[in-house]
Amino acid sequence: MNIILMGPPGAGKGTQAANLVKEYGCAHISTGDIFRKALKEQTKYGVIAKYFIQFGHLVPDDYTIAMVREHLKENEFPNGFILDGFPRTIIQARELESIAKEFKFQIDAVLNLDVDFDKLTKRLSGRRTCRECGATFHDEFNPPKQVSVCDACGGELYQRPDESEEAVKVRLDTYTKQTRPLIDYYTMKGEITNINGDQSMEEVFNEIKKSLEGK
């Protein structure tokens, strides 16, 4: 099963992707995680992405699309994949359709996590991310068992530099202008399922599982 997981920054995409991986054994493809890894390793995509990410802007479409294309080409997905954070623009969505034709896969579900904007700032300011595996925790809503240590892999938890107040403002604004129009795009194609992301993590996951029944 191949799934697109959409939603504003902090909506719970990474959290729910981790649940889906556990339940269905599919691969988690997070463009944010791939960019951060590239940045750490200073590969060409990392060097390009650094300044855009830091200030909360989107990395230009051509680089992002090339990177995703490479990732889909070089890996195998016997149990399908979850695209978390891609596509984020209409151009990326159209390109994904031509990549799907070329590599002969289909998207089985487009899930949109819906959370009020006023809740997102709190989710983002309290988020702690694992340097090693990208798992996310929250100081208040989902604290790790041990302070600053990832439950999943023992890696160190840190606060992302693009989680500053200014960068978060830009990211939410970028979402409104460039990514939210995708909801209409997929709605018109009749492919989207809206999930209420403003519930407990377990409740959100139950709603997701229900929506995937029979797919």
Q: Identify each DSSP E strand in 99-204 by its residue range.
A: 109-114, 127-130, 136-138, 157-158, 192-196
Q: Which two tokens stand for residue 63?
A: 């680089």
**Options 11-19, 99-107, 148-156, 186-194: segment touching ligand ADP (CB under 6 A):** 11-19
* Residues in contact with Zn ion, shown as a per-residue x/- string from 117 to 156 under the rule CB under 5 A: -------------x-xx-x--------------x-xx-x-
Q: With binding defined as CB under 5 A, does residue 26 bind Zn ion? A: no
- Nearest approach in angstroms of CB 150 to Zn ion is 3
Measured distance CA(166)–CA(207) in Å, rounded:
33
144 binds, among Zn ion, ligand ADP, none (CB under 5 to 8 A by kind): none
Among 20, 26, 53, 72, binds ligand ADP (CB under 6 A): 53
Known active-site residue 128: no
Measured distance CA(41)–CA(176) in Å, rounded:
31
**DSSP letter at 142?**
B
Known active-site residue 88: yes
Measured distance CA(92)–CA(94) in Å, rounded:
5
Cβ atoms within 10 Å, residue 129 = 22
Q: With binding defined as CB under 6 A, does residue 86 bind ligand ADP? A: yes
Measured distance CA(132)–CA(119) in Å, rounded:
27
Q: Which residue has the tokens 């493809």?
A: 29
Known active-site residue 127: yes
User: Reading across the β-sheet that carries 136-138, which strands appear in turn?
Assistant: 136-138, 127-130, 157-158
Site for ligand ADP in 107-146 (CB under 6 A): 123, 126-127, 136-138, 141-142
Catalytic residues: 13, 88, 127, 160, 171
Residues that bind ligand ADP (CB under 6 A): 7, 9-15, 30-32, 35, 52-53, 56-59, 64, 85-86, 88, 92, 123, 126-127, 136-138, 141-142, 162, 171, 200-201, 204
- Which residues lie near Zn ion (CB under 5 A)? 130, 132-133, 135, 150, 152-153, 155
